[in-house]
Structure 1
Amino acid sequence: MTVILLLMVLVAVAVALGMLRAAPWQWAVALGLVTLSWQSGLFHGTPSVPHVGFLGFFVWLAIAALGALSIPNVRRTLVTEPAFKLVGRVLPKVSDTEQQALNAGTVGFDAEIFSGTPDWTKLRAVPPIVLTPEERAFLDGPTTELCRMIDHWKIRHTDRRMPPEIWGFVKAHGFLGMLISKEHGGLGFSAQAQSLILGMIASRSPDVVTIVMVPNSLGPGELIEKYGTDEQKSHYLPRLARGEEVPCFALTGPTSGSDAATMRDIGIVTMGEHEGRQTVGIRVSWDKRYITLGPEATLLGLAFRLFDPDKVLGETEDIGITVALIPTTHPGVKIGRRHLPSGAAFPNGPNWGTDVFIPMDWVIGGEAMAGQGWRMLMECLAAGRAISLPSSATAGAKAMLRFSTAYARIRRQFGLSIARMEGVEEPLARLVETAYVNEAARAVTAAMVSRGERPSVISALMKYQTTERMRRAVNDAFDIHGGRAICDGPSNYLQSAYQMVPVGITVEGANILTRTLITFAQGALRSHPYLYREVQAVQNPDRETGLQDFEDAFLGHISFSISNVTGAFFHNLTLGLFAEVPERAQGLEAIYRQLSRASRNFALVADMTVALLGGGLKVKQKLTGRLADALSEIYLACCVVKRFEDDGRPEADRAIVAFAVTNGLHRYEEAMRGVVENFPNPVARGLLRVLVFPFGRHYYPAPDALGSRIVRLAIEPGEVRDRLTRDIYISGDPDDPTGLLEVALKKVVAAEAAEKKVERAIRAGIVRRYHGRDWIGEAADAGTITESEAQLLREAEALTQRVIAVDHFAPEDLMPNYREAQPPGLGHNVRAAAAGADQS
């Protein structure tokens, strides 16, 4: 028993020292004092027995070792130098392109999660949604007007192209130049404003938002603004802002998709003729595809790998990835053919060229920026990926919620609104959660970008998480609408979203690779408090400097790892009761504690994964994917809490917050269990089970009753429903399919009391509701309802019939016009290449 008590005291002291990240000499002093006190009988009144003395020998041996490690020369000889050599062999060498990607973005709150001890004041310091009066006026004015103009059936079915009036409107009002500064003729809007503007358009038409999104995302405009020469800025930026130039950016090719650094498109530095004179330039050959706006573009931003075999620019032959601006009318540029992306109507197509000569000053930034293209692209992508697709996916989820709650409240089966059926409540509850969580994370992330951050890890997880949740939201909306959703036509307000979902999943880094390779694998290097510093140190050509830098980082890493082990174990044993809670939590204390606990566990597992897998991390993509999911769930839950606080803690939203965070923690735990149970090292696997799951499973999905509660809030017209779907386009026009939903919902809710009276009369046999009978008149004649109630019911019934109606067509209206068939077996690329050969 004495030995057990001593062990318990030593463990308690070790946990405390570990959590406090004590130095080796502090460990030695603290453990020495405990052991001396015990062996002197201070605690138990008698001298130590031999067994305790035997244990004490090993304790004193450990104390001596800790004391020795406090001596710098001893520590360097016994620990630092061997570790320096080992880490140099184990950790992967960072390639030039990876180095540029790592340097491109900034770290944000992701670093707090990786630290295991998030500083909640940093999250609270992120500004809430703030727009300038000019930005708000643009959102309420031209953006709303643009949405009102859109006829999505005409765009995606009848014309299958963007109407000239839409192009004219977006150009005239500066939609294509939102990120271009006022100095250069653009609107100069904040990232938050761009996100909300794109979101409102996306809620109306995925096709239209695409033509606005691309020029305001990764593309020539942003690249010129940040890296262009003065001449390029003064010439192109005003033209881009006014829509006189329509840009596209050609990055992806047949062999370089998510791994764009392996592109085979090349340029050779050479002399050539341009505008009648000999000049230093580049002869470029390329083959690109999936280029949005390509068929309509007047200005091509082209990425290629530049070589200088004659050393015209310097001593390096392989200059690296370079980005140039090429007018699409330039001789040799082949552009204009179209892809048909998932039935969408936005312009998208290939372009190519062979031995096309361009002058050197067409390189963005001029000769000085030759070879800097990958860094330029990664820096812009780190911010752009956080805005464009997350904003459209968030707006799409809010639109799915708005439409589905209205339809489910209007549609009746078995004598009641289907929204009140538990089977329908389940997907409706998911829609509420998705809309709330996506908007919370969108707002926080956009605010980070607005204040100058480029959160590369957060932008990656935002892209894949919001688009995946949008996919689930669209599927839930389809399930709720049933046959109403699958029959296309002018009144179908879901089909365009359904057709466009795969586009968001695959562009700007396919979700599979964004999840498994980028979010955690790169995030661990970027956001870990010590790992990147260690990698840089072992790769430092100056060994002495590298060794000193490594020692500083390595000692901090050891302290960090011990803190994670002890902290995670302590918080899991105590169920997070002592985890950090910020001031003014006001009823959110339990949530903050569990998020702090989750962060500590994530930091432990992530740190051990990186330490033990080392260079093998990139091939263990199932593990890195699950860790990316765990990181995402913590970040999204943190954003949910921040949104609730930024919104002024509306009491009605507490149930939504509880539902979202509860489910988020459950998904986080499932991801963590997947990592632990599949960890390749059996010893580490067993240790992680004890440290992270000492009592087994802890988090469970939100209860059904809570889901029912939030659905009742969402199907009721009023402030909660409006807050859940804020900043999307909401029509009040009954001749518009979505406006009809809004009008019908209000009328149906107003008529519900009279409807119940009629239902009782039908069950009693007083009224018969069949085609050809005036059952509402019968109910009024029988005294079941008043004349005013009868009129209300007639109006509600007429609107309901319009809402649930499905489009149908005469056969001749659907007969396609066939052109002469192409020879069998000739694919698109073959025909395109043949066309290009004929033209050249």
Structure 2
Amino acid sequence: MSEQRKAAPPDPHDFLAVDDSLSDEERDIRDTVRDFAARELRPHVADWFEAGTIPDPRSLAKAFGDLGVFGMHLEGYGCAGASAVEYGLACRELEAVDSGLRSFVSVQGSLAMTAIHKFGSEEQKNHWLPRMAAGEAIGCFGLTEPDSGSDPGSMRTRARRDGSDWVLDGTKMWITNGSIADVAIVWAATDEGIRGFAVPTDTPGFSANLVHKKLSLRASITSELVLDGVRLPGDALLPGSTGLGAPLSCLNEARYGIVWGAAGAARACYEAALEYATTREQFGRPIGGFQLTQRKLADMLVDVNQAGLTAMQIGRLKDQGRCHRNHVSFGKFACVAAAQRVASTARSIHGANGITLEYPVLRHMLNLETVATYEGTEEIHALSLGQAVTGISAFR
């Protein structure tokens, strides 16, 4: 029997060689976004988080536009037409820096731009999408309301016809980019069911109020949208948007990015903890040499690699046209929970240093509290998976 080739030791930063399956083009996108994030985002994000805002969101939007990540998974209208895995890799590398920065990209591309791309008229697509892809116009997505989160069908925002116009009244809450947006995609109940509208934010009666005192997703701009008799021409209606399924399909695109993003946040926390554990000395040796710390690192290693494999498999299914919305629920449910475990454990390894912004772990830990809530709470995704395997709905 010929001598079996000896396997190389696993890479601590990609233990199961998840990225070995990447094509050259996928690897180039990963590296381009990773280099951009390291150069343009990571040096500033702790300060942005501490300040509770992004100081110059217009410049950041232009930089993201130049990078090509806004709506990169869409075809035409200035969009790159990237694959699902390529878009996922971009989300992973952005959220490895901060969830709020990945949210900026997700809301612009997977929510606002996707809604226009899927349901808009040609005039709406040509007017908004090229400028949004370039980062010259910013969009937001108004679905959630103060009393309507997990049950968006109970929304109170109304749109009524008045001659050839539409008049919108209502309030939307927890809207990323709301106060800096040029266009708000607003979902409202009408006599014909739930419909979507492209609302220029300079329309009289539209206002956006910043949400203050957040303890999570602080490197992000979050707003309340108020629509008080907002009068729109008939062509503001997204003609293809009929029923609740329309906004939910956009949310599924955003959730897909979260699957990858959570894997990135988990990786960042694990890598920070590994570096700290191998350099921080107590009792005359690195703390990574103690059994309890090694067990923590082993648990994190498994979570990080399982999250990475989950994201990659769902991305491959999506590129093959085989990704069901329940696959995305599986990914969000599993990857966010894994990232939360990793962030919490990484914080403990850092000891007192773990509560400062000098290290990324508590920032990620706090951000993940929001990630676990938005785009479907953990409980909602658990029920979606339960229904998928039993055929029985537990929602009502």
Question: Which of the five TM-score ranges fits, normalised by the shorter chain?
Answer: 0.7 to 0.9
The aligned residue for residue 86 of structure 2 is 193
2:193 to 286, 300, 320: 320
1:330 to 203, 207, 230: 203
Distance 1:205 1:173 in 2: 17
The aligned residue for residue 364 of structure 1 is 238
Distance 2:212 2:330 in 1: 28
Distance 1:427 1:290 in 2: 35
1:173 aligns with 2:64: no
Q: Deviations over 1:35-84 (max 9, x none)?
A: xxxxxxxxxxxxxxxxxxxxxxxxxxxxxxxxxxxxxxxxxxxxxxxxxx
Provide the TM-score with structure 1 as the length reference: 0.43
Distance 1:451 1:227 in 2: 23
1:444 to 313, 338, 357: 313
The aligned residue for residue 339 of structure 2 is 470
SS in 2 for 1:258: coil
Cα separation, partners in 2 of 1:519 and 1:476, compared to 1, 3 Å = same
Distance 2:322 2:189 in 1: 29
Distance 2:34 2:71 in 1: 14
Distance 1:520 1:510 in 2: 14
1:518 aligns with 2:384: yes
The aligned residue for residue 222 of structure 2 is 348
Q: Deviations over 1:611-653 (max 9, x none)?
A: xxxx7x447xxxxxxxxxxxxxxxxxxxxxxxxxxxxxxxxxx
- Aligned AA (2:223): G
The aligned residue for residue 671 of structure 1 is none
SS in 2 for 1:253: coil
SS in 2 for 1:335: strand
CA contact (8 A) 1:290 1:339 kept: no
Distance 2:257 2:45 in 1: 20
Q: Deviations over 1:702-723 (max 9, x none)?
A: xxxxxxxxxxxxxxxxxxxxxx
CA contact (8 A) 2:330 2:381 kept: yes
Q: Map residues 736-775 of structure 1 onto 2, 5 A cutoff.
A: none
- Aligned AA (2:193): G
The aligned residue for residue 144 of structure 2 is 252
CA contact (8 A) 1:419 1:425 kept: yes
CA contact (8 A) 1:342 1:503 kept: no
Distance 1:468 1:269 in 2: 44
Cα separation, partners in 2 of 1:291 and 1:269, compared to 1, 3 Å = same
1:376 aligns with 2:234: no
The aligned residue for residue 156 of structure 1 is 49
SS in 2 for 1:520: helix
The structural deviation recorded for 1:436 is: 0.9
1:497 aligns with 2:392: no
1:239 aligns with 2:134: no
- Aligned AA (1:510): T
- Aligned AA (1:459): V
Provide the TM-score with structure 2 as the length reference: 0.88
- Aligned AA (2:386): F
SS in 2 for 1:204: coil
The structural deviation recorded for 1:414 is: 2.3
CA contact (8 A) 1:341 1:503 kept: no
- Aligned AA (1:193): E
SS in 2 for 1:321: strand
- Aligned AA (1:144): D
SS in 1 for 2:271: helix
Distance 1:167 1:223 in 2: 19
1:284 to 152, 160, 168: 168
CA contact (8 A) 2:33 2:93 kept: no
Distance 1:320 1:243 in 2: 32
CA contact (8 A) 1:290 1:350 kept: yes
CA contact (8 A) 2:104 2:220 kept: yes
Distance 2:77 2:213 in 1: 35
SS in 2 for 1:302: strand
SS in 2 for 1:429: helix
CA contact (8 A) 2:137 2:182 kept: yes
Distance 1:468 1:439 in 2: 13
Say which is worse superposed, 421-430 or 254-263, in terms of deviation: 421-430
- Aligned AA (1:511): E
CA contact (8 A) 2:196 2:237 kept: yes
Q: Map residues 293-312 of structure 1 onto 2, 5 A cutoff.
A: 293-307=177-191
Q: Indicate the structure whose relative CO is greater, using CA pairs within 8 Å and at least 6 residues apart.
A: 2
Distance 2:315 2:373 in 1: 22
Give the aligned CA root-mean-square deviation in angstroms.
Answer: 2.2
Q: Map residues 586-625 of structure 1 onto 2, 5 A cutoff.
A: 617-618=394-395
SS in 2 for 1:305: strand
Larger Rg: 1
- Aligned AA (1:509): G
Distance 1:477 1:327 in 2: 43
Distance 2:136 2:306 in 1: 38
- Aligned AA (2:172): K
The structural deviation recorded for 1:178 is: 1.1
The structural deviation recorded for 1:421 is: 1.3
The aligned residue for residue 4 of structure 2 is none
CA contact (8 A) 2:157 2:170 kept: yes
CA contact (8 A) 1:129 1:443 kept: no
Cα separation, partners in 2 of 1:259 and 1:379, compared to 1, 3 Å = same
The structural deviation recorded for 1:465 is: 1.7
Q: Identity of aligned pairs, percent?
A: 23
Cα separation, partners in 2 of 1:341 and 1:179, compared to 1, 3 Å = farther
Q: Deviations over 1:557-582 (max 9, x none)?
A: xxxxxxxxxxxxxxxxxxxxxxxxxx
- Aligned AA (2:202): T
The structural deviation recorded for 1:459 is: 1.0
The structural deviation recorded for 1:161 is: 2.0
Distance 1:213 1:269 in 2: 32
Q: Deviations over 1:543-570 (max 9, x none)?
A: xxxxxxxxxxxxxxxxxxxxxxxxxxxx
CA contact (8 A) 1:333 1:352 kept: yes
CA contact (8 A) 1:129 1:192 kept: no
Distance 2:288 2:233 in 1: 63
The structural deviation recorded for 1:158 is: 4.4
Distance 1:340 1:442 in 2: 32
1:507 aligns with 2:374: yes
Q: Deviations over 1:458-507 (max 9, x none)?
A: 21121122111111111100111111102x24x22223212211110110
SS in 2 for 1:330: coil
Cα separation, partners in 2 of 1:170 and 1:468, compared to 1, 3 Å = same
Q: Deviations over 1:215-266 (max 9, x none)?
A: 222x121122222212122221111111121010000001210000111111
CA contact (8 A) 1:281 1:358 kept: yes
Distance 1:225 1:270 in 2: 27
Segments of 5+ residues of structure 1 without an aligned counterpart are: 1-127, 272-279, 308-318, 526-609, 620-840
Segments of 5+ residues of structure 2 without an aligned counterpart are: 1-19
Q: Map residues 83-94 of structure 1 onto 2, 5 A cutoff.
A: none
- Aligned AA (1:171): G
1:146 to 31, 37, 41: 37
- Aligned AA (2:318): V
The structural deviation recorded for 1:438 is: 0.2
Cα separation, partners in 2 of 1:382 and 1:169, compared to 1, 3 Å = closer
Higher helix share: 1
CA contact (8 A) 1:176 1:216 kept: yes
SS in 2 for 1:506: coil
Cα separation, partners in 2 of 1:355 and 1:166, compared to 1, 3 Å = closer
The structural deviation recorded for 1:162 is: 4.1
CA contact (8 A) 1:248 1:297 kept: yes
Distance 1:524 1:362 in 2: 41
- Aligned AA (2:271): R
Distance 2:249 2:323 in 1: 7
SS in 1 for 2:80: coil
